[in-house]
């Protein structure tokens, strides 16, 4: 049985040891894993401007990206793969043109450069290695018997 002093030393040394391990693993993740998974080398000025446009217009107020945001409008993490750059550009130019009377998205009147920057941002987000996120929906197959 440990004395009170031995228990205190055991607790403190364990806390310090595991805190150091946690910090080392966090440092390793931030310095080596995050840049690889996010494909940091593909981030350019257009991607950064696109991110600022996305934030300034509160797109997350309606859309979800990387699991964060609202669920009112479509999820945008893999929108570049699902729709492609041409569809995205046409849609952002005039959301009502693609779905007359059906879409509720605001007409933002983005310039062509802003639309290009947002498209680059969506492309960069879509290229991230998210290890299967967001999961593809599972559909039940109906048997033909």
Residue ranges in the chain whose pLDDT is less than 50: none
Distant-in-sequence, close-in-space partners of 25: CB < 8 Å, separation ≥ 6:
none
- Confidence at residue 36, expressed as pLDDT on a 0 to 100 scale: 92
Predicted structure pTM score: 0.78
- pLDDT per residue as tens digits for the range 69-108: 998 889 999 999 999 999 999 999 988 887 787 767 888 9
Supply the DSSP symbol for 102.
Answer: T
How many Å apart are CA 134 and CA 63, to the nearest integer?
A: 14
Cβ proximity of 128 and 117 under 8 Å:
no
DSSP letter for each residue of 81-100: HHHHHHHHHHHHH-HHHHST
């Amino acid at each position: 049985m440990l004395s009170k002093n031995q228990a205190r030393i055991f607790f403190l040394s364990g806390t310090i040891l595991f805190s150091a391990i946690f910090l080392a693993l966090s440092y390793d993740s931030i310095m080596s894993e995050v840049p690889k998974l996010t494909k940091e080398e593909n981030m350019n000025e257009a991607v950064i401007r696109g991110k600022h446009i996305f934030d300034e217009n509160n797109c997350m107020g309606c859309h979800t990206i990387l699991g964060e945001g609202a669920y009112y409008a479509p999820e945008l993490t893999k929108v570049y793969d699902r729709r492609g750059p041409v569809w995205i550009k046409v849609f952002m130019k005039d959301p009502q043109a693609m779905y007359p009377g059906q879409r509720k998205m605001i007409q933002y009147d983005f310039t062509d450069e802003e639309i290009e920057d947002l498209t680059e941002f969506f492309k960069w987000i879509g290229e991230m290695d998210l290890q299967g996120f967001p999961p593809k929906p599972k559909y039940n197959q109906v048997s033909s018997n």
